[in-house]
Structure 1
């Protein structure tokens, strides 16, 4: 790896990173979201493209797991890198295991990539390996989750994410629209210190304050996705008058949909985040899945790649850069899927929708 000390190209940067307030010595990440940039504003011009190609850069990607969503993130980043002559050395899948991700990062460090993109499962355990990669010259760009103690502009170039607060608010709006302003809901939230899901869940609950006739009659946290089925069954046993259940994300919502179907609660609807085939099939069949708020993973990956490459040219990115999001219902499944994944809709969904 070549270390480069390039002058800051201030005249080329589209955005100036804001000064972010700190609380108790730590960055106020939730507050920083209000100052976030938009993904569409992160651009590489023709002269920068020529400079990047001349550098013959390399990149690596250390992901937390595997899913259609992360595949779209990975593809967006890889295709964006390829446009500027960057060689992707390796992509890793931690299988949602923090220890494996630590090992993945250590193995990546041996390859000495110029740039490293990652969604980190556990920032504490991954911090040492990431710090070594940064100290050896890798430009680090994070997906959604900050690393405790890392300094923006010094230890990492920026964080790309969905608009967590906006997504939580839109999920609440979907619940309100379905209930026409009055009803009872259950909330199954992510009970782990995980920035992106915590922020979305909290934004959802806060947004419900605007709908005083909608009552949260049950709240229960989960750690593992497979626990949500039992949680939903127990919740409905105690509160059979629940109208809607909110679940932190799509894969966790699968168990809730399964439990509701198995227990005979066909009328109870589910609202969540992200796009997964199983829940979209249920939605297409007019089952329990009512709506989901989806970000755009392909655009997340492409934006991460652009921020990393601009950092190689000495550009400073904002702390947060956010991609747009969409409310997906039965009526727009196909359009939102194509927008989010930049790929064809799975054939089975088209078949169920009658196309």
Structure 2
């Protein structure tokens, strides 16, 4: 999108950040996030909504995997599409397998949907399959992960993502809250090239600089979630003085909590990202998990759908749109769960919070 304004279809239109799409290392690129749009600014007028309804459009959801988080993204997208009279003709789960996502895209391209919402498992191996769907007229809206070589406004509408840097900083603030601005920290980071987690982890490191009394005494990386239990156990045995451990995301943090329990170290606090029932149960029962930073998946899906629908009218879109996040502690678990997922709190978690 050009920096100047064209038809304004949401309040406070932001210019798109300039990105070089030739590099494979997206996490290391210099992106001016101050120019990203906010999801709260994305709106359609009543007239634009009616125009979209008259088009009898179809959409497909091409996801990387399945989880309560993905289900919430889908609910948000479906709710917005329903309001706009857009029929969802397919929804797929690649099971984190690039080959399966390629096959999913081939099948969906044959349906010729007008809009595709997707998170690419691997932008390199899936790129040609996305290109085929785009050639058949589909408007592509991406979730979080850019596809190397794709040009915004030509190959895809835009990217909706977490406020990665804000979330990383908030996790650092949450660590300070857990330790009283002073203490020794272990950091378990995602040791793979991945856009979201790399940026959140780096933002966490940067955020800690605001707290001179907080010291990271050991860092260890992981690639697969199941590795974190052994990583955490070794980390604590090497540095028994640790008072808190940061972990890149919720499911990976489950192994850390398991290791701390087995070592009898209920005193070590865990800080992570995202919402998962197991760690929220631990938090509700005053266990190791001090808090987490969570995005809003329902809002992500809703925003993606709105951007995709608007693109069928030729309306400009921001390169990146950021969705808000929330700091979650025991006292606001129920509130944030509802905000994030737009669904009732799981019964077991509700019972734990009442104890």
Q: TM-score, normalised by structure 1?
A: 0.94
Unaligned runs of 5+ in 1: 1-7
Distance in structure 1 (CA, Å) of the matches to 2:258 and 2:65: 23
Corresponding residue for residue 150 of structure 1: 150
Return the offset for 1:15. 5.0
Deviation (angstroms), 1:32: 3.2
Q: How does 1:237-316 map to 2 (within 5 A)?
A: 237-316=237-316
Q: In 2 relative to 1, CA 353–92 (structure 1 residues): closer, same or farther, beyond 3 Å?
A: same
Tell me the distance in 1 between the aligned counterparts of 2:315 and 2:46.
15
Structure-2 residue corresponding to 1:68? 68
Whether 1:191 and 2:182 are equivalent positions in the alignment is no
Assess if the C-alpha contact under 8 Å between 1:17 and 1:316 holds in 2. Answer: no
CA contact (8 A) 1:62 1:93 kept: yes
Q: How far off is 1:16 after superposition?
A: 4.2
* Distance (Å, rounded) in 2 between the aligned partners of 1:12 and 1:323: 18
- The Cα of 1:151 is off from its aligned counterpart by 0.7
TM-score (norm 2): 0.94
Does the residue aligned with 1:291 lie in a helix, a strand or coil?
A: strand
Structure 1 residues 19 and 319, CA, compared in 2 at 3 Å: closer, same or farther?
Answer: closer
Are 1:89 and 2:83 matched, yes or no? no
Shift of 1:33: 2.0
Q: Is the 8 A contact 1:13 1:315 kept in 2?
A: no
1:232 paired with 2:232, answer yes
Pick from 7, 11, 34 the counterpart of residue 10 of structure 1: 7
Residue of structure 1 equivalent to 2:109: 109
- State the Cα distance separating 1:29 from its structure 2 match: 5.6
Change (3 A) 1:86 1:186: same
Query: What do residues 181-234 of structure 1 show as CA deviations (whole Å, max 9, x unaligned)?
Result: 111111111111110111101000111111122111111111111111111111
Paired with 2:282 and 2:21, the residues of 1 have a C-alpha distance of: 46
- Secondary structure of 1:314's counterpart equals coil
Q: 1:5: which partner in 2?
A: none
**In the aligned structure 2, how far is the partner of 1:279 from the partner of 1:24?**
37
SS of match in other structure, 2:287? coil
Of the structure 1 ranges 271-280 and 124-133, higher mean CA displacement relative to structure 2 is found in 124-133
Post-superposition Cα deviations, 1:285-324, rounded to whole Å, max 9, x if no partner, equal 0001110000100000000000000001101110111111
Match of 1:99? 99
Contact 1:171–1:272 (Cα < 8 Å) also in 2: yes
Q: Distance in 2 between matches of 1:328 and 1:101?
A: 33
Q: How far off is 1:23 after superposition? A: 5.6
Measure how far apart 1:17 and its partner are: 4.9
Q: Deviations over 1:257-286 (max 9, x none)?
A: 111111111111110000000000000000
C-alpha distance in 2, partners of 1:12/1:246? 40
Q: How many angstroms apart in 2 are the aligned matches of 1:13 and 1:186?
A: 43
Kindly indicate whether the alpha-carbon contact (under 8 Å) linking 1:36 and 1:320 is maintained by their aligned counterparts in 2.
Answer: yes
Residues 117 and 304, structure 1, Cα contact 8 Å, conserved in 2: yes
Q: What is the alpha-carbon distance in structure 2 between the residues aligned to residue 334 and residue 221 of structure 1?
A: 32
3-state DSSP class of the match of 2:54?
Answer: helix
Q: Summarize deviations over 1:95-144 as a string: whole Å, max 9, x none.
A: 12222112211211111110000111211111111111112211000111
Q: What SS is found at the alignment partner of 1:31?
A: coil
User: Is 1:15–1:317's contact at 8 Å kept on the other side of the alignment?
Assistant: no
Q: Distance in 2 between matches of 1:84 and 1:341?
A: 21
C-alpha spacing 1:67/1:321, structure 2 compared with 1 (3 Å) = same
Q: Distance in 2 between matches of 1:331 and 1:37?
A: 30
Q: For each residue in 1:149-189, what CA deviation from the matched residue of structure 2 results, as whole angstroms up to 9, or x when unmatched?
A: 11111111011111100000000001012111111111111
For residue 12 of structure 1, report the CA deviation from its aligned partner. 3.7
Residue equivalent to 2:208: 208
